[in-house]
Chain A
Amino acid sequence: MECVLNSLSCVCRDESLLDDRALLLEMLEKMMTARKFEEKVFELYSKGLLHGTIHLGIGEEAAGVGTAMAMAPDDYILVTHRGHCPAIGKGCRVNAMMAEILGKQSGTCHGRGGSMHIADFDRGILGANGIVGANAPLACGVAMTIKLKGIRDRVCAAFLGDGAANQGAVHESMNLAAVQGLPVIFCLVNNQYGVSMHISKAMKETDLTKRAAGYGMKAFECDGNDVLAVYEATRDAREYALREGPCLLVEHTYRTSGHSKSDRNLYRSMEEIAEWEAVNPVVRFSNFLLDRGLFAQEEIGCIDRSSDDAIEAAVRLAFAAPDPLVDSATRDVFA
């Protein structure tokens, strides 16, 4: 599958999904919330109101939300440094996320982690990782727990980027998961750039699905900017992981935001970014819902405003929340 600007709408293989209005509503709400969350974080950073680093996934809302929503509530995910979208997709509360990004005691990690390490263990979000590819070994272990404890109907998904595809730990983990038959989905979100390096310069063979065969795994692939395609592909991958063992799920997308706060986009053109932004996943899904007559324009406008309100409230609460006590700085080094 080429990574192209291929559609202004979405494709749905299983039309029965469209009867599930609550599901569609939740998808749209979470994608809009994720988008506005990221935009707000960038705004706070630009105004100098935010300490430390951020990695935004603007443009990757469908990949994060679609995959996380196709997981069962008890399933586990391990996300990357660019982890806000899947965390929101899996149900992490934006109030606690915003508070964490502002370093507050009420944050998901009580201000110890920040944007790069958001976690919500109660919702199966086992943490965002700052080391590219490092969550692949962890995912194998999470799946070992599932297997050793004899838990049925539970899987673990490791979010990875195209950059992580060239990390040794990822290769080791795919092999370990395959040989042990572990219920892991290696969810490879191909946003086409590892920081500044385009995928075509980082690997000779850019068809990432081919990696699976080398480990005896099955590969699934989808248009990562189409939330319904992502949802359906993840559902297939999940069923496969439960039944057969690990698999690779490649989602093609594009981040229109920079790699991190210091990115000046010297490695790509503004035209390229603008082209992708014009067909961003939130727009595509909204168009689809309108075109199919599933939601009215007013309803979508209402969801848009309510997600704005939710983010504004999260920011207000976070700024008002207390910082961690200074004398708690070395707490929680050990259990």
Chain B
Amino acid sequence: MPEREITYAEAVREAMCEEMRLDPDVYFMGEDIGVHCGAFGVSAGMLEEFGPKRVIDTPISEAAFVGAGIGSAITGMRPIIELMFSDFMAVCYDQIINQAAKTRYMFGGHANVPMVIRTPSGGGTGAAAQHSQSLEQMYCHVPGLKVVVPSTPYDAKGLLKSAVRDDNCVIFLEQKLLYRTKGPVPEEGYTIPLGSADVKRPGTDLSIITYGRTVQMSLEVARRLAAEGRSVEVLDLRTLSPLDTDAIIASVKKTKKAVIVHEAVKFGGFGGEIAATIADSDAFCCLEAPIKRVGALYSPVPFNAALERTVLPGCDRIEATVREII
């Protein structure tokens, strides 16, 4: 029997529904997630199955409902909070950074925040500067937050189920341009541990270290180079915090060349942390070329499609960078 294929959005929904069926303390809250099914249709059918008590539509008040998620988490619930666009973290930054991330430590380990903030991230949709950002590095810099960026439907389901079961606040950055992509996803429940990278394509000549939407682009570049007999490995980090440093180091020691790719702005981006991880390790001595990085240009995301394609990284820019050192 062929493996079942579902979309990334369906995989996210399936993970939420499975966890809500398993655990009555899990509930779902956010803006327009009920009748409207969320801005990207992710929660279709959930209000019907779980009712308004567990699928809670809120007013447009991100600080209030993200904070409410935290308050419920420290008193025994396991909320899944949907932030309609990851850019909106800016209006509830205090609750995420000063509250969710700090609560356990600051109170001496006497409280946990078992909460997931799911939020669509990234550009390429013509939504311009305030609805297109990739801000994962800002969360990664704050101790107390876990950060997950799935690139396939299979990973989205397994990682989200782990995130819901985790006793910490997990920022789950969904890739809005991947929502409609399809892939094989088992119908049964399974989890993928947070903090484990995945070799999406093994190779021997160069490692592309990436996560999120640029994983698919990197795979395309690897296929292009394979036609010329070049073997490119694509390592999907899947979780940025905690970071699977062992996988990064092992891959680079094997291929001796590294290109780091993400959609976020290159300057100050998480790629710098990955590059430093390599440079700090014994993989450094194996390097046969400088570590290269590909990311968005230093600019807000523009509306015009041609400008947006220019600012955000694409296959051609990744390929050109790979060719510089392979």
Output the residue of B65, B143, B144 with the most chain A CB within 10 A.
B65
Q: Are B77 and A127 in contact (CB under 8 A)?
A: no
| Chain A residues, Cβ within 8 Å of B58 | 176
Closest to A117 in B: B106
A142-B75, A145-B76, A334-B144 given; A119·B68 CB < 8 A: no
Shortest C-beta distance, A313 to chain B (Å), equals: 22
> 1/0 per position for A119-131, CB-CB distance to B under 8 A?
1010000110111
Output the residue of B74, B146, B168 with the most chain A CB within 10 A.
B74
A131-B99, A136-B67 given; A142·B108 CB < 8 A: no
How many residues of chain A are within 8 Å of chain B by beta carbon? 46
Other-chain contact of B68, A126, A127, A140, A333 (Cβ < 8 Å): A140
How many residues of chain B are within 8 Å of chain A by beta carbon? 44
| Chain A residues, Cβ within 8 Å of B4 | none
Alpha-carbon distance between A120 and B174 when the two chains are bound, in angstroms: 36
Shortest C-beta distance, B35 to chain A (Å), equals: 16
Q: Are B61 and A176 in contact (CB under 8 A)?
A: yes
| Chain A residues, Cβ within 8 Å of B167 | 335
Cβ-based interface call for B182 (8 A): no
Other-chain contact of B106, A112, A141, A149 (Cβ < 8 Å): A112
Other-chain contact of A331, B79, B103, B109, B114 (Cβ < 8 Å): B109
A137-B68, A179-B59 given; A109·B74 CB < 8 A: no
Q: Are B71 and A109 in contact (CB under 8 A)?
A: no
Alpha-carbon distance between A115 and B99 when the two chains are bound, in angstroms: 17
| Chain B residues, Cβ within 8 Å of A76 | 75
Alpha-carbon distance between A227 and B287 when the two chains are bound, in angstroms: 71
Cβ-based interface call for A286 (8 A): no
Shortest C-beta distance, A111 to chain B (Å), equals: 8
Cβ-based interface call for A307 (8 A): no
Which of B47-80 touch A at CB < 8 Å?
53-54, 56, 58-59, 61, 63-77, 79
| Chain A residues, Cβ within 8 Å of B143 | 330, 333
| Chain A residues, Cβ within 8 Å of B108 | 107-113, 119, 332
Which of A147-173 touch B at CB < 8 Å?
148-149, 156, 168-169, 172-173
Cβ-based interface call for A139 (8 A): yes
A117-B106, A144-B71 given; A335·B112 CB < 8 A: yes
Shortest C-beta distance, A151 to chain B (Å), equals: 10
Cβ-based interface call for A138 (8 A): yes
Alpha-carbon distance between A180 and B103 when the two chains are bound, in angstroms: 25
Cβ-based interface call for A287 (8 A): no
Cβ-based interface call for A134 (8 A): yes
Closest to B98 in A: A131
Q: Are B76 and A149 in contact (CB under 8 A)?
A: yes
Closest to A174 in B: B64
A169-B94, A172-B63 given; A119·B107 CB < 8 A: yes
A107-B108, A175-B59, A334-B168 given; A141·B76 CB < 8 A: no
Which of B101-138 touch A at CB < 8 Å?
103-112, 114
Alpha-carbon distance between A143 and B107 when the two chains are bound, in angstroms: 20
Other-chain contact of B67, A138, A175, A333 (Cβ < 8 Å): A138
Alpha-carbon distance between A148 and B65 when the two chains are bound, in angstroms: 15
Q: Are B72 and A126 in contact (CB under 8 A)?
A: no
Alpha-carbon distance between A272 and B69 when the two chains are bound, in angstroms: 42
Alpha-carbon distance between A180 and B53 when the two chains are bound, in angstroms: 10
Q: Are B59 and A119 in contact (CB under 8 A)?
A: no
Cβ-based interface call for B86 (8 A): no
Alpha-carbon distance between A119 and B107 when the two chains are bound, in angstroms: 6
Q: Are B65 and A176 in contact (CB under 8 A)?
A: yes
Cβ-based interface call for B95 (8 A): yes
Cβ-based interface call for B27 (8 A): yes
Alpha-carbon distance between A34 and B105 when the two chains are bound, in angstroms: 26
Alpha-carbon distance between A176 and B144 when the two chains are bound, in angstroms: 27
Q: Are A138 and B59 in contact (CB under 8 A)?
A: no
Alpha-carbon distance between A70 and B110 when the two chains are bound, in angstroms: 25
5 tightest A-B contacts by CB?
A137-B67, A141-B71, A109-B108, A141-B68, A172-B64
* 13 further A-B pairs in the complex, CB-CB below 8 A; given A127-B107, A140-B71: A112-B107, A117-B107, A131-B94, A134-B95, A141-B67, A141-B75, A148-B72, A149-B77, A169-B64, A173-B64, A180-B56, A335-B166, A335-B167
Chain B residues near A (Cβ < 8 Å) = 27, 53-54, 56, 58-59, 61, 63-77, 79, 94-95, 98-99, 103-112, 114, 143-144, 146, 166-168
Interchain residue pairs with CB less than 8 A apart (15): A108-B108, A108-B110, A109-B106, A121-B74, A136-B64, A138-B68, A138-B71, A140-B68, A144-B71, A145-B76, A169-B64, A172-B61, A176-B64, A332-B104, A333-B104
